[in-house]
């Protein structure tokens, strides 16, 4: 049986030429699932509290992200000790939690991945995608309807 679990680096032509003043580059020591080779990201602000988390050297690794909303979702998950260590968090420091949004799979809905939120240590500029094993957290949580569908 042949198993290929390594993340393949595609030859992408999707390059973005963007000049950013004083770019704040975040290190993801483990990458993110499926893109473990892509370890450095910048956050490009979008509208409201939505941003683009864009890898600096692998353009195919680019995600729409938003803040974890405690009013809707409750408290974010607890970090495991190894995740805290990877983030280099201080003892009582809590990370900033982000959700990866998927606006591309459904013409009606934008989904949020609650099963693998992203924890960020803003001070040390480090990030980790934290995979959750709880069945209560949805892979495709209905986050919002696409803006152009809101009037329908």
Partner 1 sequence: MIVFRRKAGQAIHIGSDIRIVITEVEPGQRVHIGIEAPLATPVHRLEIYEHIRAENAAAAGGNALDWLQKGA
Of residues 33 and 123, the one with the C-beta less far from partner 1: 33
- Under rule CB under 8 A, residue 51 binds partner 1: yes
CB atoms within 10 A of CB 1: 2
Q: H or E segment at 64?
A: strand 62-67
Q: Does 79 bind partner 1 (CB under 8 A)?
A: no
Segment interacting with partner 1, rule: CB under 8 A, options 2-10, 68-76, 90-98? 2-10
DSSP state of 63: E
d(CA 116, CA 109): 19
Size of the site for partner 1 (CB under 8 A): 46
Residues 11-50 that bind partner 1 (CB under 8 A): 14, 16, 18, 29-36, 44, 46-47, 50
Q: 112 pairs with which residues across the strands?
A: 101, 141
Give the span between the Cα atoms of 58 and 78, in whole angstroms: 30
Tell me which stretch binds partner 1 (CB under 8 A): 60-68, 70-78, 89-97: 60-68
Q: Which member of 79, 89, 98, 101 binds partner 1 (CB under 8 A)?
A: 101
DSSP-assigned letter for residue 107: S
- Distances, alpha carbon 102 to alpha carbons 1, 41, 52, 66, 110, in Å: 33, 18, 12, 11, 6
CB of 46 to partner 1, least distance (A): 4
Q: Report the interface residues with partner 1, using CB under 8 A.
A: 1-3, 7, 14, 16, 18, 29-36, 44, 46-47, 50-54, 60-64, 82, 85-86, 100-105, 113, 115-116, 129, 131, 133, 139-140, 147
């Amino acid at each position: 049986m042949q198993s290929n679990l390594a993340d393949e680096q595609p030859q992408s032509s999707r390059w973005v030429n963007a000049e950013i003043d004083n770019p704040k580059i975040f290190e993801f020591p483990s990458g993110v699932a499926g893109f473990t080779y892509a370890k450095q990201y910048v956050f490009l602000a979008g509208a409201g509290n939505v941003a683009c988390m864009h890898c600096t050297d692998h353009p195919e690794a680019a995600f729409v992200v938003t803040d974890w909303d405690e009013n809707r979702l409750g408290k974010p998950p607890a970090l495991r000790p190894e995740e805290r260590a990877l983030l280099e968090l201080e003892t009582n420091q809590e990370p900033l939690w982000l959700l990866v949004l998927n606006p591309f799979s459904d013409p009606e809905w934008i989904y949020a991945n609650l099963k693998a939120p992203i924890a960020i240590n803003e001070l040390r500029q480090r990030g980790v995608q934290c995979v959750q094993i709880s069945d209560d957290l949805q892979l495709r949580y209905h986050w919002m309807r696409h803006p152009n569908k809101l009037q329908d």
